[in-house]
Amino acid sequence: MIIFPAIDIKGGKCVRLLKGDFNKITQYKKSPIDQAIEFSNLGFKNIHLVDLDGALKGKLINKNIIKEISKINKIKIQVGGGIRSLEHIKKLLDFGVDKVIIGTAAVENIEFLKIACNKFNRKIVISLDVRKGYIALSGWKKQTNILASDFVKKIENMGISRIIYTDINKDGTKSGPNLEETLNFSNLTKIPVLVSGGIASINDVINIKKNKSPNIKGIIIGKAIYDGSIDVKELCKII
């Protein structure tokens, strides 16, 4: 089980959103780079990084920050937000990013996803941001009528590295993850799944580890780390 502390970047700052709402944003004192260094020093080996400006604008915005974080020793980062082209993917991988997360572009253009997976073997992560089972796109602003359970059938054999399954209505709420829905989803695919959204406590993490399906391989944790609901030193002990 991999624990991914999350860093969301907006305007060059480290932030968290509530249920994906850009009008409900909390900004933190530490810069994204300083926060990443702290996570590394605590013993985390992986970081989940999202360029929220990029997600809104459909292009890489905070690339200099991402580049600096990718240089931190012994840290693997997966990066998403606004990645819409093979050029974007190559640039991030050239920085030293471990995995590149595609969301909107993957759902809107399956052929692009197929080409990306072929070109960048085992480097592509799919982000499925879901409300009540249906995928949302473009920084969670655009709601589709595409069921995540239907979409995953189309991408099963493309060589995708992992899927991030985020319940938007849980994200940033610390109300506990939608574990039942995520477990059900993970049972539909052989692709490794990461749980995202709503993690509130160490008990949530332990519960996921205890009740996980074979395909649930990791947990992304954001707000609960930043506001102290989860003691990161205690979290490190159960990685």
Catalytic residue among 8, 51, 53, 167: 8
Return phi, psi of residue 5, to 5°.
-65, 140
Active site residue 129: yes
Distance CA 219, CA 190 (A): 17
Q: How many CA atoms lie within 13 A of 181 on its CB side?
A: 23
Return phi, psi of residue 122, to 5°.
60, 20
Q: In the numeric block, which tokens belong to residue 227?
A: 């506001």
Q: Residue 84, Cβ neighbours under 10 Å: how many?
A: 20
Q: Which residue has the tokens 């471990």?
A: 98
Strands 99-102 and 124-131: parallel
Q: Residues 33, 35, 37, CA angle at the centre, nearest 5°?
A: 70
Catalytic residue among 51, 53, 129, 171: 129
Active site residue 34: no
CB 38 within 8 A of CB 235: no
Distance CA 92, CA 75 (A): 15
Q: Residues 183, 184, 188, CA angle at the centre, nearest 5°?
A: 110
Distance CA 47, CA 164 (A): 13
Length in residues, the chain: 239
Task: Name the residues annotated as catalytic.
Answer: 8, 129
